[in-house]
Chains A and B, each alone.
Chain A
């Protein structure tokens, strides 16, 4: 991967939210480690899919990248330039290049603003981004571009369906001609038959405009469809990343394996052939994540490894000491770009 291929790079990014107790004094009693040391690169014109259970930190990462939240530590580089080292004006200019499409097309649009006002709003913040023909013309072109009728520019959000509202959200994000679009669950609120329309629109726009996407979704099948590369998050950290084929076909972290196996395949004839790894319990709290490997409390592989290390060990669920004490590093597997953070990554596919 040459560095000019990379449009967005994140190094050791973290975002902690303070936890306060008490109504008057608001004592600081701890921290929610929503994102804790994430490094990743987004390649130009490509799509990086980000998956993981609810609460794993996906939206927080996106909010830090788009500038809604300030990082606790770490660096964000756009086209190789560290955003935090820039002056205010330059930073704003750089920020323009990262725009966001939100999950809920019903609440993410201001109901009192017309479609034209919503889509053109960003020009007020970035006047230099208004194209030569003027704002009104630009907005009409954008609506046309996302498959909406430009004559509907004076209508209000409630006059549109969910899929159309999501198109409005996309037009708004595209107004200032960004390089990068962060899509946070852009289709999960839509009906299956409408999801495909929005996904196809995003793919078309990417081809035509050379956009790069960070695509966040619960739905692993949609990510499989749209992503070139995939990163898997668990409790604020990346546990695996690689090309779409590497992560989906050779999942190398026990958590990724479990996630993949839990997705039901829409083919009844495969019903009994698939082995599903059922993870016990829920994700632990990010206020007090487990020591060592964050995943060890739910890991299905660790007990198997323990019985190999110590066959005479107790019958109850016992975990290798290394999993309980040492946080595994995100390390390369067979290809240098396929990374997994597990002490026993090499054993995952054998089981």
Chain B
């Protein structure tokens, strides 16, 4: 695996997604769940993917992992490359094999994913035993190591316990340990702290950051919590109705959002350190995925919309200074708009 910087100093991305489009055939019609998504993540970097429920965050990640059920899903176009390898042309089995060794995912609802009838240690090493034919004793030793890695106290004892004996936070640690068991170069964490208390969320995020820094892993963090994003991300991709509507470095996007959706999202979150008046809101609601509005999908909710937004979809990537992009007819104006 090459991770050497290229000549201009930017690292070669480990994982690169280009113009990915995914549809679902449903009784109500075709759902375009992901529509022209591109992103990349390099060693040691954290990419946060944010967006409303149904915007395509999980579906696109499952596609990266080769785990989409096809049908009903169909990958319409696009490319997913790991290192130099195009995964989409490999066939799903070979695709999964590449991921097994290199890309791991902590699934949304992971807390429900543990099997109640097997011990935690057994589940942690299932992949190792199956893939590498590891002996029982070695597997147990490795399970203890993995629990130690994710700072589950008393690992020797706890590998023998069952999932119901673990709290929510401890179970999430087990899921992270499981994802790390094959030493992945890229980890996708889909809402890893959503169901957890802030105190536990802080523990888990700290753990993820430490492990990432130590192993120089690429991390894709899917979340709806703009506070968590501000704390850990290097780069941010904002999704709306299947598209990446804005991509930028974390500092740029918070300082001057260049898409009206991002701007409205950041404006609508209450803050712990500020007592505000009325809460800014985004009117309306996300579109029905079978009936995405014509023109710009965000136009019915957008404060900047003009006739052109109702008629024409914006270019998928309006390039802006500092390597950022926004899919908005008025990207530059939105970015320079000052209302605060």
Contacts and interface: CB of A to CB of B under 8 A. Distances in A.
B5 interface: no
Interface residues of A, number: 41
A161 B285 CA distance: 8
B198 A193 contact: no
Q: Tell me if A's interface is mostly helix, strand, loop or mixed.
A: helix
Contacts of A269: 251, 254-255
A197 B272 contact: no
A194 interface: yes
Nearest to A245: B275
Contacts of B203: 278-279
Contacts of A197: 281, 283
B225 interface: yes
Interface in B107-141: none
A191 B198 contact: no
A200 interface: yes
Most buried by B among A161, A218, A225: A225
B269 A192 contact: yes
Interface string B268-302: 11111111101111110110000000000000000
B202 A262 contact: yes
Nearest to A189: B53
Contacts of B206: 278
B200 interface: yes
Given A263-B272, A265-B227, A269-B251, A196 B199 contact: no
A63 to B, nearest CB: 20
A196 B201 CA distance: 23
B252 to A, nearest CB: 9
Contact of B227 (A218, A266, A281, A282): A266
Given A200-B278, A218-B197, A220-B198, A193 B231 contact: no
B230 A279 contact: no
A269 to B, nearest CB: 7
Interface size class of B (residues with CB under 8 A): 35 or more
Interface stretch (B84-92, B162-170, B329-337): B162-170
Interface in A43-87: 53-54
Contact of B275 (A220, A225, A265): A225
Contacts of B227: 221, 263-266
Interface string A195-209: 111011001000000
Contacts of B275: 224-225, 244-245, 248
A194 B226 CA distance: 15
A259 interface: yes
Contact of B270 (A161, A224, A260, A264): A224
Interface of A: 53-54, 161, 163, 191-197, 199-200, 203, 218, 220-222, 224-225, 244-245, 248, 258-260, 262-271, 276, 278-279, 281-282
30 contacts: A53-B197, A53-B199, A163-B285, A191-B224, A192-B52, A193-B264, A193-B281, A193-B285, A194-B285, A196-B279, A220-B198, A244-B275, A245-B275, A248-B275, A259-B198, A260-B272, A262-B201, A264-B230, A265-B272, A265-B273, A266-B230, A267-B230, A268-B233, A268-B254, A269-B254, A269-B255, A271-B231, A278-B199, A278-B202, A282-B200
Interface of B: 52-53, 153, 167-170, 197-203, 205-206, 224-231, 233, 250-251, 254-255, 264-266, 268-276, 278-283, 285-286
Q: Which 10 residue pairs across A and B have the least CB separation, nearest first? A: A264-B227, A225-B270, A196-B281, A193-B282, A262-B202, A196-B279, A262-B198, A266-B226, A53-B197, A268-B230
Given A193-B264, A224-B271, A259-B199, 6 more contacts: A161-B285, A193-B282, A258-B199, A264-B225, A264-B231, A279-B199
